[in-house]
Structure 1
Amino acid sequence: MSQSQSGGRANGNGNASADDRDRVRLTMAGQDGSRVLYRVRRNYRFFRLFQDYCKKKNLDYQTARFLLNGHRIQGKSTPEKVKNFLGTSP
């Protein structure tokens, strides 16, 4: 799973809206090389994201493992918590 900062859509003034600044884009990459892009709030629990990914890929959630830079990501975590733990930008 890789993580990148939200590009943010500009409002009429060319500034990113508050809603866009509160969101992050996450790319889930499978072992087969396939990718699924999600755009979620920074406080969105990974649990729901992981379940959706497993459903789309026809995987068993109970046996799937999700990693970021070699670190396992727990379902109860959020993008904001992971950023603080790893020192990366969500």
Structure 2
Amino acid sequence: MEETKDQKPNEHLNLKVKSQDGNEVFFKVKKTTPFKRLMEAYCQKVGAEKSSVRFLFDGDRISGDQTPADLDMQDEDEIDAMVQQTGGSW
């Protein structure tokens, strides 16, 4: 039986999503997977409302239809998860 090595070894990336309070959640994703899936999984894991979390990579906001390949991400890159603050009235 022949083994085919057509798949690139770097097809998957290990990405870290870091919240403002320093908590880190790790994800293994394909370079072609839309961030929408990672965003939904992160929000479900931390119990946050998806509409209240903003995801940033190198200071730029990530949209759900972008992929790690679109942003030229590398293995072990870090995404910042910023929870939108609401309220503030005294």
5+ residue gaps, structure 1, are: 1-16
What's the RMSD between the two structures over aligned residues? 2.0
Q: 1:74 aligns with which of 47, 60, 63?
A: 63
Aligned to 2:10: 21
5+ residue gaps, structure 2, are: 1-5, 76-90
Structure 2 residue 38 is the aligned partner of structure 1 residue 49: yes
Matched pairs, number = 71
Amino acid paired to 1:28: V
Which structure dedicates a bigger proportion of its chain to helix? 1
Larger Rg: 2
Deviation (angstroms), 1:32: 1.0
Structure 2 residue 30 is the aligned partner of structure 1 residue 61: no
Higher relative contact order (CA 8 A, sep 6+): 2
Structure 2 residue 21 is the aligned partner of structure 1 residue 38: no
Q: TM-score, normalised on structure 1? A: 0.71
